[in-house]
Structure 1
Amino acid sequence: MGWFSKDIATMDDLFVHTLRDIYYAEHQIKKALPDMIAKATSPQLKQGFEIHLRETEGQIGRLQQVFKLHGVEEKGVTCPAIDGIIEEANDIAGEVADKQVLDAALIAAAQAVEHYEITRYGTLVAWAKQLGRDDCAALLKQNLDEEAATDEKLTKLATGGINRKAA
């Protein structure tokens, strides 16, 4: 099912499609994080990625609850956006020899992922409320809050020294 296809006729259809999009995205992120952990040289960055991996597992669990509450099949739909963001991150990380520059590149890549997730979760929270699904909105808001907090932590790492060392 593609964006604005015949399969999306109602706001509920759009909500479910986007829910499946972020479900797929979270699984792709869960697969990518161990590689990012392995490549990071800053102990704080490595620890941040490890924490976010555990958070991602919890976020997937909350998404599974939303599927169940909403009464739809738990499954993902391919998300070219997250695939592209992760592919770009891998390409850039593969080209960086200087480990301090690599850490700055990893933060930038992680923030691109976080910003994508923030937009998806923000939209899903609003739509869930519009559909009268405050139960789903509350779970999705927890994921949104975690993503925003992770983005803030990444910014602090970048501006707190990693970018300066890379320069």
Structure 2
Amino acid sequence: MGLFTKDIQTMNDLFVHQLKDIYYAENRILKGLPKMIEKATDPGLKQGFETHLRETEGQIERLKQVFSMHGVSPEAVTCPAIDGILKEADEVAGEVADKQVLDAALIAAAQAVEHYEITRYGSLVAWAKQLGRNDCAAVLQKNLDEEKATDLKLTALAESKVNRAAA
């Protein structure tokens, strides 16, 4: 099912589809983070990825909670966008021999993922509120807040030392 197909007729349909989309994305990210942890050489970056791995596990549990609250079974729909972002990240990381430059590339890749998640969660929070599901919005807001915090931490790490070391 594509994003704008005849299967999506209502705001609720759109909300559920996007919920399934981010559920897929979070599960793919959960599988990809260990590779990023393994490749990272900066101790702060490695620790940040490990922390986000645990956060991602919690985010998946919150998504399951939202599915349940909304009366829908947890289900994923393939998300070509996150697949593309993760594929590109893997390809770039595979091409970088200098470990300090690799850390900078990993941060850039992780931020591409974070920005995708931020857009998805932002829309879901807004739509949940529009649908009168402030309970769902509150749970999704926790995921959004974590994604924004991770993005800020990655920026701080890049700007404070990783990019300088790579240059």
TM-score in terms of structure 1 length: 1.00
Find the counterpart in structure 2 of residue 80 from structure 1. Answer: 80
Find the counterpart in structure 2 of residue 8 from structure 1. Answer: 8
The letter of the residue matching 1:34 is P
Q: Does 1:153 align with 2:133?
A: no
Find the counterpart in structure 2 of residue 129 from structure 1. Answer: 129
Q: Distance in 1 between matches of 2:47 and 2:91?
A: 23
Q: SS of the residue aligned with 1:36?
A: helix
**How many residues are aligned here?**
167
Q: SS of the residue aligned with 2:36?
A: helix
Q: Distance in 2 between matches of 1:36 and 1:3?
A: 29
Deviations 1:50-70 (A, max 9, x none): 000000000000000000000
Q: Does 1:25 align with 2:25?
A: yes
1:49 is displaced (CA, Å) by 0.1
Q: SS of the residue aligned with 1:74?
A: coil
Q: Distance in 2 between matches of 1:113 and 1:19?
A: 16
Find the counterpart in structure 1 of residue 65 from structure 2. Answer: 65
Identity of paired residues, percent? 75
- Gap regions ≥5 residues in structure 1: none
Q: Distance in 1 between matches of 2:91 and 2:25?
A: 18
1:73 is displaced (CA, Å) by 1.6
TM-score in terms of structure 2 length: 1.00
Q: Distance in 1 between matches of 2:7 and 2:77?
A: 13
Q: SS of the residue aligned with 1:9?
A: coil
- Gap regions ≥5 residues in structure 2: none
1:2 is displaced (CA, Å) by 1.0
The letter of the residue matching 1:86 is L
Report the RMSD for the aligned CA atoms in angstroms: 0.3
1:165 is displaced (CA, Å) by 0.5
Q: Distance in 2 between matches of 1:151 and 1:76?
A: 24
